[in-house]
Amino acid sequence: MGISYVEFEDEHGVLRRYRKHANGRGLVATTAKVDPTAYVDPTAYVDPGAVVQRGASIEHGGWVEADAIVAERAVIGVNARIGHGAVVGRSAVVGPYATVGPDAKVHNGARVPRDTSVAEGTEYRPSSDDLRRLGLAA
C-alpha cells in the first residue's frame, strides 16, 4: 500500500501536507512524529511539529496542534483539542470536548474531565483518585 497525502492551506496561506497514519488512518502532518503504536482516528489531526508517543490514542475528532506533545499511553478524547506547544503527560486522559490551551501542561496520570478547559500556560495536576487509579497513591 502506497503512502497517500492530503494537502491543506492554513490560515496564513501556507500549503501543509498530511499523510494517513498506519494505525487508524488519521491525518498526520509530514513534519509531525507519531509512533507506529499510537492510534490516530480517521477523523483526527496531528499538526506540524507535534509529537505523539507510543501507545497514545487520539480519538474521533481529536486535534493535536503544532508543536504539542502527547506522551506515551495518553488518551485524547472525542473532539478534544490540544493547543499549540501544550504537553499531555504519560497515561493522562483528556476527556471528550475538553481543551488544553497553548503551552499548558497536563501532568502524568491526570484526568481532564469532559468539557473542561485548561487555560493557556497553566498546569493541570492529577488528583489523588487519578494517582490511585495508576497505583501511585495509597
What does the block give as the cell for 13? 496561506
Q: What is the CATH number of the domain that holds 30?
A: 2.160.10.10
Q: What is the pTM of this model?
A: 0.91
Share of the chain above pLDDT 90, in %: 79
Residue 28's DSSP bridge partners are 19, 46
Q: Is the pLDDT of residue 3 over 80?
A: no
The pLDDT of residue 138: 53
Inside any domain, residue 138:
no
At 36-64, the pLDDT tens digits run: 999 999 999 999 999 999 999 999 999 99
Is the CB of residue 57 less than 8 Å from the CB of residue 38?
yes
Amino acid symbol at 81 = R
**Cβ neighbours of 74 (radius 10 Å):** 27
User: Could you tell me which residues come within 8 angstroms of residue 116 by beta carbon, excluding any fewer than 6 positions away?
Assistant: 95, 98, 99
- Enclosing domain of residue 27: 5-133
The pLDDT of residue 137: 59
Inside any domain, residue 107:
yes
The pLDDT of residue 97: 98
What does the block give as the cell for 16? 501543509
Inside any domain, residue 34:
yes
Total number of domains in the chain: 1
Inside any domain, residue 51:
yes
- The arithmetic mean of pLDDT across residues 14-26, rounded, is 93
Inside any domain, residue 60:
yes
At 94-128, the pLDDT tens digits run: 999 999 999 999 999 999 999 999 999 999 999 88
Inside any domain, residue 28:
yes
Inside any domain, residue 24:
yes
